[in-house]
Structure 1
Amino acid sequence: MLVDHFPLVGLRLRTPRLELRLPSPEELAALAEVAAEGVHDPGTMPFLVPWTDRPAAEVARSVIQRHWTKLGEWTPQNWCLDLAVFHEGAAVGMQDVRARDLAVTRRVGTGSWLGRRHQGKGIGTEMRTAVLELAFAGLGADEAESSAFAHNEASHGVSRKLGYELNGTDRHAVRGALTVDHRMLLTRAAWERHRTVPVTIEGLDPCRALFGLDLA
């Protein structure tokens, strides 16, 4: 079975309302359609790489290709886990968690997108909480980093709620204009103080080697 060779397909994160896991091909297609319908106000760009500026068919295809690429490039030293987010059985967005040399650095990064019609319901907070539980409780991380442009108040709201603090800024050219990116950092101590959403993790033990962790 596939799970015997690539145990990440058996990994499950569950919160009171959500399930996060690798999608089936049909579910990946559904996610692509959610992205094609829109994930942000077209008047602003929340992403450093403006992948949502392309025609809808190209946006959908990029979701599929990115997902396959990240799995195909996976190594225990450098990985990015793109998890589909399901709410009431429907695919609503994508949440990633990633790291380089996790066993040494003990730091992860996260990123996400959520279909516009699913925003404003607290789903963004819950899905990031799920991967933070995986990182801190499951993988032994000490820090988690995130970033969002100055105008992305929704992302900053999630970060503040979960205990992140400002960790510097970067300046980028996006759509030909200056955009200030705020780097945010969450420590283990702050995560422990701000844990409010229960998360269950299933199928992690067989995956530890893929995350670059010592099985001893």
Structure 2
Amino acid sequence: MQDNANFISKKFWQNTSIFIILLVSGLTACTSEPKQPDVVVVPTPQATVTVTATPTPTTNVVVTPDPQVTTIVQTEPITDVLVITNANKQTLVNKPVQFQNINVQSVVGDRAFWVGSSNTQRVFVVLAPNLDAGSAENQVVVKQGQILDLAGVLKPVPSVKQAQQQWKGLTATEAQGLKNQIIYLEANQIKFKSS
């Protein structure tokens, strides 16, 4: 029984000492500065967010393909056959031309001939009426192989029938071939360099 009494006494002191430790800890905690807790949970009301979509102006972007034909804005006279053969010919109507040392490829009528360096790089030329009238008619005789200086204005090619009527000596085949040319040079100045 004595063992039981020792056991109870021992337990009593253990419980008492635990009680005293807890009591001292509690009193110390109350008298010292309060520590800030790591996490504070405070219930808050749910916030409501309203999003209003405002229309923004749209920008239209237009993409066009690269042009297949070169458009030339010409303020000075055209001086190179390649400018005429490689351009959108309709944009060249009424543009001034001034060729120097240009080769006569062939003569197709009384007032009409081709100038240039090849069959793909050439321009159809018609002498203006002032170069084919009066005394000028006998003096202005263009021949194949001549080298000329020419000045004039690009004009639209007339219909096949009109071309044959206006330009004597032009065959139906030649007149039909002019339709693809779209424009021709009406030369109002000519200077013969050599033959």
Q: TM-score range by the shorter chain?
A: under 0.3
Higher RCO, 1 vs 2 (CA within 8 Å, ≥6 residues apart):
1
Q: What is the TM-score normalised by the length of structure 2? A: 0.21
Larger radius of gyration: 2
Which structure has the highest helix share of the two? Answer: 1
Which structure has the highest strand share of the two? Answer: 1
Q: What is the TM-score normalised by the length of structure 1? A: 0.19
